[in-house]
Amino acid sequence: MNRVLLLFFVVLMFLNTTGFQADRYVTTTTHNRLKFAINRGAHDASLQLDKAQLAEGKIVFERDAALLAFKAGMNHNLQLHENGTPRTRSLLSDAPEIVFEDYVDDNDANIVFPFSYVRENQGIRKVLKGPAVIYKVKVRLPRHHVYSYEGHVYKTVIYEYPFRERIVN
């Protein structure tokens, strides 16, 4: 009887450990896919430039078009519907939420690159070497195990153009 109980507890520990490991795999995969998706979305957003300003040598983002491009890229890469809700086979259970967006470009004459970008309330500190789009996304992690983290995770992406000399007329 002692051996049966020992075997029973060993099997329970094995199942618990296997479930916990599977949950860690899903969590890591979700983190990676989220980071890749927002990186690609920020890249798409950074391509939405004002063509007239670009002809003058200035990089100025079209903010509305950039936000739409970011959302479209993120939705495509995270397997979300057009409205941002997850599809049936998606890793996510809730829609991601963009909690912060900002654009640093040549529209502001006071900015000289390299530029120290600090937003204390968002926890963002970065030295920018050129114009950049900045987004912060909040996502609820999937919960598959009783010991899983139950809450949101925040991911920040900064996509910048490389350092270049500013053209001064």
Q: What is the mean pLDDT of the chain?
A: 84
Q: Which of 103, 154, 109 is nearest to 128 (CA)?
A: 103
CA–CA separation, 149 and 17 (whole Å)? 16
- Supply the pLDDT for residue 60: 87
Per-residue pLDDT band for 143 (boundaries 50, 70, 90) equals: low
Residue, of 47 and 91, whose pLDDT is higher: 47
Task: Tell me the residue length of the chain.
Answer: 169
Please give the Cα distance from 122 to 68 (Å, whole number): 22
pLDDT band at 140 (very low <50, low <70, confident <90, very high): confident
Nearest to 34 by CA among 117, 162, 131, 140: 140
Q: Helix or strand or coil: residue 119?
A: strand
**What does the pLDDT look like over 7-16, one tens digit per residue?**
888 888 888 7
pLDDT above 90 for 112 = no
Q: Return the residue matching tokens 């270049």.
A: 164
Higher pLDDT, 164 or 16: 16
Q: What is the structure's pLDDT at 144? A: 64
Least confident of 15-24, 26-35, 61-70, 145-154: 145-154
Longest dimension (CA), the chain: 90
Cβ burial, residue 21 (10 Å; 0-12/13-18/19+): exposed
Q: Evaluate if pTM is beyond 0.75.
A: yes
